[in-house]
Amino acid sequence: MNLLNLSKLSSDEILAGSFGIEWESLRAKGDGELSLTPHPEIFGDKLTNPLITTDFSESQIEIITPTFNTIEKAFDTFSLLSDLVNSSLPEDEYLWFQSIPCILPYWDQIPIAQYSDEGVESQKYREDLAKKYGVKKQMISGVHFNFSFTDEFLEKLQKIEKSDLSFKEFKNNVYLKIARNYLRYCWLIIYLTGCSIGSHKTFSNDCIHLMDTKDDYGSYYSTRGPSFRNASCGYKNLKELYPSYNSVDEFVRDINGFIENGDLSEAKELYTQIRLKPKNPKDLLNSLQNDGIEYIEIRTLDINPFYKCGLVRHDMKFLHLFLIYMFIKDESDYPDWQKEAKINEENTAECAYVESMRLLRDGKEVTLKSWAAEIINEMYGMCEVLGFDEFHTLSLMLNRISNPDLTYGQRLLKLIEENGYINTHIILSKNNKQTSIDYLKTIDIEECDELKKYVDIALAGN
């Protein structure tokens, strides 16, 4: 993408888009154990409530925002929904503010999400996943960020680029390029936002074996890396799968091949850091081919325990800028880029705080700090040319790179060293719930039609 061509459009046009957030979180009890009660009735039917549902487990709440035309609106609504959910849980129950699970019971006591007759396919899909990957791995949770440019912006850009492609093909190529580059560079997002460094002994042994320290309360943690949700022990496909992102047709061909080979049961079982999302998710592959890519879903973000909705506004703003940068950034022609990207992703997740750790850049070793600083400096240049007033956001990220003590993972490490993994997250999770309760007391929802609309939908069973 030519930066000068992009600069012919206004900053408002480039930054405009559609934004949405999804968040999975376990329900935990006051002692840090998984709550085994059914999905709370106050949220109504999980099949019909568009905002509050369950993910894999009956004990795993999922919050899904509508799409908004600004990050601010998406974030504010997401924050409100998390306040409503957490404050609506029983007194001795709260959302678990950590991507790696709380204290788990034996695998056969973890409740898979239960559905009425209309949801029989959803329930069977979860039961099949449990058999294939194990129930405990399904309890890993995270934050997803959904994004698309406006069609108006893409139409203007196509004219500036003088592209002869159909609009659907042009739009597909935009998102495919972002997807390719995001896979190459998502290690930076893992470093900047990673916050899953510990595990209770009741979780998965393959994660525990990667951790170098044990606390006095039956948990383990790592001093070496920021995100074991994104590590080799995280929630991954059983086999490394590398579909082509050169075109939608090639992507669909490869996914169909994985399904025919038995590697995937269906297209949505492909677990990757970024997903290409179609207009009709129920007919994913056909819709991708017929309608094109509607938006992209970023799946890298850990739950942030330091904020009441598990996500920090500055991180979301940075991710938006990062995706624009992914569109602008020239691509390498290194043939094994996907395999190299996977190595970088897992090495960063497991060993980013180790000085001797090296990333691979087109087959050559490079330090994380030098490559990360180069990326942020290029993003400074992008913001200057395109007129984005986001230098403070970039400065925050550059500080995390130069001083790892400012990263969420290192901040969490200090608390775990003092209080242990489970106790730390009990404290943080309870504090976040109380913060949500206190905040809701300060606003008059009845006076705001927009807020009341979401309250009525979210708390459908009230």
Per-residue pLDDT of 372-395, as tens digits, reads: 999 999 999 999 999 999 999 999
User: What region, left, alpha or beta, does residue 309 occupy, with left being phi > 0 and alpha being psi -120 to 50 degrees?
Assistant: alpha
Per-residue pLDDT of 109-147, as tens digits, reads: 999 988 877 778 888 889 999 999 999 999 999 999 999
Nearest to 251 by CA among 289, 207, 296: 289
- What is d(CA 342, CA 186) in angstroms, rounded to the nearest whole number? 9
pLDDT, mean over the chain: 95
According to DSSP, the β-strands at 60-64 and 198-200 are: unpaired
Task: Taking residues 84-91, report their average pLDDT.
Answer: 96
Residue 445, pLDDT > 90, answer no
- What is d(CA 315, CA 376) in angstroms, rounded to the nearest whole number? 14
- Percent of the chain exceeding pLDDT 90 equals 90
Question: At 1, is the pLDDT very low, low, confident or very high (cuts 50, 70, 90)?
Answer: low
Give the end-to-end CA distance of the chain in Å, rounded to a whole number: 50
Neighbours of 279 (CB within 10 A): 14
According to DSSP, the β-strands at 213-214 and 359-361 are: unpaired
Helices vs. strands in the chain: H and E counts, helices first = 16, 12
- Percent of the chain exceeding pLDDT 70 equals 100
224 token code pair: 């070496």
Q: What is the pTM of this model?
A: 0.97
DSSP symbols for 33-57: BBP-SPSPGGG--TTT-SSEEESSB
Residue 447, pLDDT > 80, answer no
Integer-rounded Cα Rg, in Å, for the chain is 22
Per-residue pLDDT of 151-198, as tens digits, reads: 999 999 999 999 999 999 999 999 999 999 999 999 999 999 999 999
